[in-house]
Amino acid sequence: MHRRDAIRNVAILLGTAISASTLSALESCTSAPKNYELQKPETKALLAEIAETIIPKTKTPGAKEANVQDFIIVMMNDCYKKEDQQVFLDGLKKIDAASEKQFKKGFMDITPDQRTQLLTQIEQERVDYNKRKDKKEGDPTHYFQYLKELTLLGYFTSKPGATEALRYVAVPGKFEGCIPYTKGEKAWAM
């Protein structure tokens, strides 16, 4: 919305006529936040970038490489009720809207640093919401709770997450209750 208005204003400023087709092209690519649906490819693409922003590739694989986007869609489809799915999908719209407001671009079009900045703000909002004093039973879950939780679950229990970002020992074969630990050593995967 903002970006289209901005371009239109620029066009007016420059005294240029913008054709109807140009306007409609702007409409389709950067218009009001999309209506996300779990089946749409753009939903998966957005989830991949959100998850990658939460758990980026470092020396070890990031969320995208662990296919966390696919996992989130499976979980949302199978394990959450319609109402919860709606909170989640509306949340994706809110992320786009917040991105438009702050950076005049949708989440897909901003830089990785901008994504981290934006999601850090939303993360703060989630944490504040979870700590609110007027909690009631039946309050909706904050949409970013789903994204954070499913990204972490999906990543750290994935093969790349468990075996590369963490240490996975399928059959320990013994138990040692008290061994030395040096900072920097990876945690056990489970």
Partner 1 sequence: MNLNIKAQEQNTYDAIVIGSGVSGGWAAKELTEKGLKVLMLDRGKPLEHVKDYDTATKDPWEFKHRGRITVDQRETHPKLSRDYPYSEHNEKFWINDAESPYNEVKRFDWYRPDIVGGKSIMWGRQSYRLSDIDFEANLKDGIAVDWPIRYKDIAPWYDYVEKFAGISGTKEGLPQLPDGQFMPAMEMNCVEKDVKKNVEAKYKGRIITMGRVANITQPLPGRGSCQYRNLCSRGCPFGAYFSTQSSTLPAARATGNLTLRPDSIVNSVIYDEKLGKATGVKVIDKHTREMVEYYAKIIFINGSTLGSTFVMMNSVSTRFPNGLGNDSGVLGKYLMDHHFRTGASGVAEGYDDKYFFGRRANSIYVPRYRNIGNDKRDYIRGFGYQGGASRSGWSRGIAEMGVGKDFKEMLTEPGHWSMGLGGFGECLPYEDNRVTLDTSVKDAWGQPVLKFDAEFKENEKKMRVDMMNDAAEMLEAAGIKNVKTYDNGSYPGMAIHEMGTARMGRDPKTSVLNGFNQMHAVKNVFVTDGAAMTSAACVNPSLTYMALTARAVDYAVKELKKGNI
- The site for partner 1 (CB under 8 A) is made up of 53-56, 58, 60, 71, 74-75, 78-81, 116, 119-120, 123-124, 127, 130, 148-149, 152-154, 156-159, 162, 165-166, 168-190
CA 155 to chain centre: 13
Q: How far is the CB of 180 from partner 1 (least distance, A)?
A: 6
Q: Which residues contact 169 (CB under 8 A, 6 or more apart)?
A: 188, 189
Report d(CA 86, CA 103) in Å as an integer: 25
Q: How far is the CB of 138 from partner 1 (least distance, A)?
A: 17
Q: How far is the CB of 32 from partner 1 (least distance, A)?
A: 26
Residue among 12 and 187 whose Cβ is closer to partner 1: 187
Report d(CA 81, CA 77) in Å as an integer: 8
Residue among 30 and 118 whose Cβ is closer to partner 1: 118
Residue among 2 and 168 whose Cβ is closer to partner 1: 168
* Contact between residue 64 and residue 42 where contact means Cβ atoms under 8 Å apart: no
DSSP assignment letter at 167: B
Q: How far is the CB of 63 from partner 1 (least distance, A)?
A: 9
Report d(CA 72, CA 149) in Å as an integer: 10
